[in-house]
Amino acid sequence: MKLPQVWAKRLMDITPNVVIVLSAFALSMNMINSVSSLQGLAFAVTFAGFIFAAILVRPIWLKYVLATVAYVAFFNVFPYLSFDKLVSVIYLSMIILAFLLPSPLPTFLAAAYILYFTPSYSPEVPMEMISTIMIGVGINMILYSLLAFYLRNLKKENGVNMELNTKLHLALAKLEHIAYYDTLTKLPNRELLRGRMAEALSEEAPMAVLFLDLDHFKNVNDMLGHNAGDQMLQAVASLLRDVVGHSHFISRYAGDEFVLLMRYQQQEEIKALAEKLIDAFQIPFQIEQRQIYTTLSIGISLYPEDAREADALIQYADKAMYSVKIGDKNEFRFFSAIKSEELLRQVKLENDLRSAVNKKEFVIVYQPLVEMSTGRIQGLEALLRWTHPEMGPIPPSVFIPLAEQTGVIVELGEWVLKEACRQVRDWQRTGNPDLTLAVNISIRQFRTPKFASKVLSILEETNFEPALLELEVTESMMQNLNESITILGELRHQGVKISIDDFGTGYSSLSVLGHLPVDFLKIDRSFTQELTTVNSATSIVKLIIDIGHSMNLQVICEGIEKQEELKILQQFGCEIGQGYYFHRPSPAEEIELLLSSRTPVGVSNIPTKIRN
Ligand code: C2E
Ligand code: MG
Ligand code: MG
């Protein structure tokens, strides 16, 4: 808005107020003059006070009361006011009250008082006086009508403003609700949780964070559909609200996960609440005319014992919940309990890992690499498995990083290479001379002195043809590029093939890729898994395949589980595939069976499921 417009608007806003103040002033003077000045003043103040109070107050009944009191007081206290003043005041009152009160009451009141007073004054009033009164009444009417007009406008404006204000408040409340509450369950969301946690932590009082997760919720979604899943979440949310009440804060964190904040003095209180929550789930939920049972797994972290930051508290409570999940479920556990368990487990694993090679606890499984156009097994990837004597199978995602940290990976990696070369050489001898072998090499192993010569000596020892070995290294080798180029060059010089594993997840620079002596790009399975659902994944995979081809590299795609994924990859021209769709990683005995039906070189053997 420009400046003159702003001033014009201010003037408009201020005018009615000025008119009211001036009129009130004139009215008061009028009244003060009509009686002795002290009485007049008292009268002016009282009357004006009541009338303005009647304007200001909200409830309509109070307006009536105030206006009536003003009238009664006025006429009873000052019955000897001159007739013309009375008439003026009555008119003013009528106009104001008619404007204020949507009822004929002021008119009746005014009429009643005129009738009451007129007979007592009329005998003494001469004609001249009456005409003066009539002129006075006329002028007053015009003045007061103007006043009423301004007042009405003011009220209207106020009304519009109030309506806008109410709408604005409603909209803001709605926005706030959307920003801070989950639309499905109507529970506070993660954002509000963060705010509450920050508030609570700033007060430095002991607080427990309970991380709740429904057990087997996925089954409800998978078996009954997402609608039922949504209904279930709503029912769970309302149950949680009932159990928790207003004493604690409960929010929906994600999917079927809920986070509860609880002030406490004794740990017993937390245990009692956790038990109450778990017990509440013993009753089935009624979803789409079915009774569905579910249970809760709860992890608990404590402020300030476990952590002082919100993120860490949630993460620890989540960890504790996870440890319940992988166990019997339907329980609660404190983070402090698993913290020591986890540390113990870590230390134990580390120690046991060192001796596991000698104790022959490791085995190698093999997963076929398949020609995409024919379905023929082209080679095998060696994948390490560790079965701990007490803890059972430990996944590679746990023990490989541990082996890397401790350096055990060097010895372990050598063992894998030797053992796999020996095994696959056997299969090559017995009818599969062209069978290739892919072995994963960790970066720590890759950087050991004389890595290349170690590999070559193992090849010699096992009598393995270097051209049939593929070493899978990750993008992290690009960090020490010159050293990597030398090592890879040495190996390649002897005919060993190199592939970049899990491609797309690291930080490869394409310009660097061009300088690397490699043969294959192996697209990470995270892309394959999103191939049929996420558009960007499809474009990335196509791009990687095109880049690979433009650099004369062959492209391998891992993690193929569905026929649709296979079809897309075939269309994109990907040469080699690996995944559960073809074969799972299997022990040597099963692979041997599989290889016995493998067709000799050059003969097409497309499984029916691939041909479709
Ligand atoms: P990787 O080299 O990328 O191996 C492929 C992983 O994908 C394997 O997991 C395999 O079982 C899995 N996989 C294959 N097809 C599918 C599929 O269709 N769907 C899904 N969901 N998964 C599939 P695994 O055996 O658990 O190995 C994990 C990682 O551990 C390997 O990833 C590799 O980086 C490492 N690793 C395994 N063995 C060794 C080894 O001997 N030395 C070294 N340094 N690392 C190894
Ligand atoms: Mg691999
Ligand atoms: Mg991989």
State pLDDT tens for residues 504-529.
876 566 777 777 899 999 999 989 99
> What does the pLDDT average to over 436-464?
95
Which one has a higher pLDDT value, 534 or 462? 462
> What does the pLDDT average to over 66-75?
66
User: How many separate domains does the chain show?
Assistant: 3
Token couple for 53: 């109070």
Tell whether the model's pLDDT for residue 98 goes beyond 70: no
- Whether residue 419 sits in one domain with residue 320: no
CA-nearest residue, atom 3 of ligand 1: 502
pLDDT at residue 609 in the model: 41
Q: Give the Å distance between the CA of 523 and the centre of ligand 3.
A: 7
- Whether residue 257 sits in one domain with residue 113: no
CA-nearest residue, atom 10 of ligand 1: 585
DSSP state of 188: B
- Tell whether 524 is covered by a domain: no
pLDDT at residue 604 in the model: 44
> What does the pLDDT average to over 413-422?
97
Three-state DSSP class for 56?
A: helix
CATH, residue 253? 3.30.70.270
Q: Give the Å distance between the CA of 558 and the centre of ligand 3.
A: 6
Q: Give the Å distance between the CA of 381 and the centre of ligand 2.
A: 7
Ligand 1 atom at minimum distance from 396 CA: 30
pLDDT at residue 405 in the model: 81
Q: What is the percent of the chain with per-residue pLDDT over 90, rounded to a whole number? A: 47
Give the model's confidence band at 612: pLDDT under 50 very low, under 70 low, under 90 confident, else very high. very low
> What does the pLDDT average to over 389-395?
90
Kindly report, residue by residue over 118-162, the tens digit of the pLDDT: 555 554 555 655 565 556 555 555 655 566 566 666 666 677 777
Residues around the ion ligand 3 (C-beta < 5 A): 501-502, 558
- Tell whether 577 is covered by a domain: no
Tell whether the model's pLDDT for residue 490 goes beyond 90: yes
- Whether residue 374 sits in one domain with residue 248: no
> What does the pLDDT average to over 542-561?
93
Q: Give the Å distance between the CA of 400 and the centre of ligand 3.
A: 13
> What does the pLDDT average to over 545-572?
94
Round to whole Å and give the CA distance between 541 and 577: 13
- Whether residue 196 sits in one domain with residue 338: yes
> What does the pLDDT average to over 85-114?
56
- Whether residue 49 sits in one domain with residue 17: yes
- Tell whether 414 is covered by a domain: yes
Q: Give the Å distance between the CA of 205 and the centre of ligand 3.
A: 47
Give the model's confidence band at 357: pLDDT under 50 very low, under 70 low, under 90 confident, else very high. confident
Q: Give the Å distance between the CA of 522 and the centre of ligand 3.
A: 7
Which one has a higher pLDDT value, 535 or 26? 535
pLDDT at residue 221 in the model: 80
Please choose from 353, 400, 563 the residue to mutate so as to test ligand 1's pocket, defined by most ligand atoms within 8 A of CB.
Answer: 400
- Tell whether 562 is covered by a domain: no
- Whether residue 79 sits in one domain with residue 196: no
- Tell whether 264 is covered by a domain: yes
Residue with tokens 């000052």: 78
Report which secondary-structure segment, H or E, holds 387: strand 377-388
Give the model's confidence band at 16: pLDDT under 50 very low, under 70 low, under 90 confident, else very high. very low
Tell whether the model's pLDDT for residue 318 goes beyond 50: yes
Give the model's confidence band at 608: pLDDT under 50 very low, under 70 low, under 90 confident, else very high. very low
In which domain, by residue range, is 33 found?
5-156
Residues present in the chain in total: 612
Considering the entire predicted model, what is its pTM? 0.54
- Whether residue 276 sits in one domain with residue 250: yes
- Whether residue 373 sits in one domain with residue 334: no
Q: Give the Å distance between the CA of 467 and the centre of ligand 2.
A: 18
Q: What is the mean pLDDT of the chain?
A: 82
Lowest mean pLDDT among 166-170, 242-246, 339-343: 339-343
- Tell whether 564 is covered by a domain: no
DSSP state of 600: P
Residues around the ion ligand 2 (C-beta < 5 A): 440, 472, 501
Which one has a higher pLDDT value, 157 or 25? 157
Q: Give the Å distance between the CA of 341 and the centre of ligand 1.
A: 27
Point out the domain boundary residue: 302, 330, 348.
Answer: 348
Which one has a higher pLDDT value, 241 or 2? 241
Nearest ligand atom owner, CA of 367: 1
Please choose from 441, 443, 458, 525 the residue to mutate so as to test ligand 1's pocket, defined by most ligand atoms within 8 A of CB.
Answer: 525
Q: Is 612 exposed, middle or buried (0-12, 13-18, 19+ CB in 10 A)?
A: exposed
> What does the pLDDT average to over 265-276?
94
- Whether residue 263 sits in one domain with residue 146: no
Point out the domain boundary residue: 110, 132, 156.
Answer: 156
CA-nearest residue, atom 44 of ligand 1: 442
- Whether residue 510 sits in one domain with residue 397: yes
CATH, residue 482? 3.20.20.450
- Whether residue 446 sits in one domain with residue 371: yes
> What does the pLDDT average to over 178-200?
91
> What does the pLDDT average to over 33-50?
69
DSSP state of 200: H
- Whether residue 408 sits in one domain with residue 295: no
In the sheet that holds 296-303, the strands lie side by side as 249-254, 257-263, 207-214, 296-303, 332-334
Tell whether the model's pLDDT for residue 421 goes beyond 60: yes
Which residues lie with the beta carbon below 6 Å from any ligand 1 atom?
A: 367, 383-384, 395-397, 400, 413, 416, 440-442, 472, 501-502, 525, 558-561, 578-580, 585
Tell whether the model's pLDDT for residue 348 goes beyond 90: no
Please choose from 440, 445, 529, 563 the residue to mutate so as to test ligand 1's pocket, defined by most ligand atoms within 8 A of CB.
Answer: 440
Cis peptide leading into 304, omega within 30 of 0? yes
> What does the pLDDT average to over 53-75?
68
Give the model's confidence band at 610: pLDDT under 50 very low, under 70 low, under 90 confident, else very high. very low
pLDDT at residue 606 in the model: 41
Point out the domain boundary residue: 348, 376, 399.
Answer: 348
Round to whole Å and give the CA distance between 407 and 285: 52
pLDDT at residue 139 in the model: 59
Ligand 1 atom at minimum distance from 400 CA: 45
Dihedral (Cα; 513, 515, 517, 523), 10-degree rounding: 10
- Tell whether 81 is covered by a domain: yes
CA-nearest residue, atom 46 of ligand 1: 440
Rounded to a whole number, what is the distance in angstroms from the first to the last CA of the chain? 69
> What does the pLDDT average to over 394-412?
89
CA-nearest residue, atom 30 of ligand 1: 396
- Tell whether 162 is covered by a domain: no
> What does the pLDDT average to over 33-38?
64
